[in-house]
Amino acid sequence: MFKLKYQRYILLLSTILILNSCQSSSSKNSLANEAISEKIDDFMNSVIDEKRLPGLVFSVAKKNQVLYSKAFGVSNVDTQQQVRKNTLFHIASTNKAITSLLIAILVDEDILTWDTKAQDIYEGFTLSDDTYSSQITIRQLLDMSSGLPEGLDNLPNQARGLLEDLTDIELNAPKTEYRYSNLSVSIAGYLAVLAYKKFDHGQITEEDLNTLHSGYEMLLKEKVLIPIGMTHSYLNIDDAKASNNMSHSHHLENDIFVVSESEDEPNDIFAPAGGLKSTTTDMIKYMMVETQQGVTAEGKRIVSTKNMIERQTLSKGVATDAEYGLGLEVKTLSNGMTYIGHTGSYDDFNSAIGLFPSQEVSFVLLSNGDSKDVLNLTGDEIENKMIEWVNQFESI
């Protein structure tokens, strides 16, 4: 009996010591995160105070835990409406990485491969050079080696024109030069829609071709947004405005921010390259999937590790020097850290997403103003700030 009581006492004491240790560790981590949070607060407040931006939201996560998320400034300089964490911003070209994720899911489902040729999906895909048209692959469209120009001077009336009506554009031979291109990624996104339709009902119909924008929107929701839990993200600007959470964008006039007139349209034909409107709450959930190589914050796998790594790896050939993978920038920084991310700029909105895979830390910056140095802020400057901050974050 004495021995049993002694064993129980030892077990109770051990449990108390373990709990105290966990509480001590948690307390230290909380203090560490509080200290780095103050540094971030100071920097972001300086951005607003120095009128570099009217408003922004910044979030940081480690693995599947949000360790920092705050809003700064205003969403409308006229009304002084404050930015909130659920404020919608145009994410611009950071959408390219999400389109790449969508295609990775379709690769997992054997609907297409990274090296599927555009004409193998849709025979009607036609450019100004028949030889080049027959060579271009999904991989080349995503790593910017397709030979397509950045955009178009004369836009077609609907998205199918990006697949059929580009018979007078200037092209380079595929795989000979890196050319950053909204057109290229948009074509990849719409080809993914057609590949899915073809797989689903055996053929591509006129209706499929005439509804490519809505087809991309539905496929994006089904395969990416809903599984990740991005319930407050919208491709259509009218839907974003109807939520009553959409920020206005701004530009400088005589060193004063004024509300910009929006260029966003409900059926933007370049939507797969940069049409999504989202919140930092949704976007940090997406970044957790990047960090965990295909696993959501809730632990659900939505895409294979193999195809996540394929996206996050420097593409071979001409895209290597440009530090580009499949819809993602992939860099080795001066301190040896690996950095994976993207920036975006459209309609006087600017954004940046980034991941430090070794540290398992990701971030999202969404902003609503175009100023003299905003591209530096959302590019190298925030990247360098994260290099300074990244090792100071501790899991809760």
SS3 306: helix
The confidence score (pLDDT) of residue 2 equals 45
Query: Nearest Cα to 288, choosing from 303, 276, 310?
Result: 303
Q: Which two tokens stand for residue 162?
A: 């990006």
What is the rounded CA–CA span in Å between residue 74 and residue 72?
Answer: 7
The confidence score (pLDDT) of residue 7 equals 59
Beta strands 369-370 and 250-253 are parallel
The amino acid at residue 143 is D
pLDDT means per 10 residues, the chain with 396 residues, are: 53 49 54 84 96 96 96 98 97 98 98 98 94 96 95 89 92 93 97 96 95 98 98 97 97 95 94 98 98 97 98 86 92 91 96 97 97 89 93 76
Are 104 and 308 a contacting pair, CB within 8 Å? yes
Domains belonging to the chain, first-starting first, are 33-93+231-392 (3.40.710.10), 99-220 (3.40.710.10)
SS3 265: coil
Q: Which two tokens stand for residue 337?
A: 């850290």
The confidence score (pLDDT) of residue 320 equals 74
Beta strands 89-90 and 277-278 are antiparallel
* Cα-only R_g, the chain: 23
The confidence score (pLDDT) of residue 155 equals 86
What is the rounded CA–CA span in Å between residue 301 and residue 124?
Answer: 35
SS3 144: coil
| DSSP tag of 267 | T
The confidence score (pLDDT) of residue 18 equals 46
Q: Find the DSSP H helices in 50-174.
A: 95-108, 118-121, 130-135, 138-142, 161-164
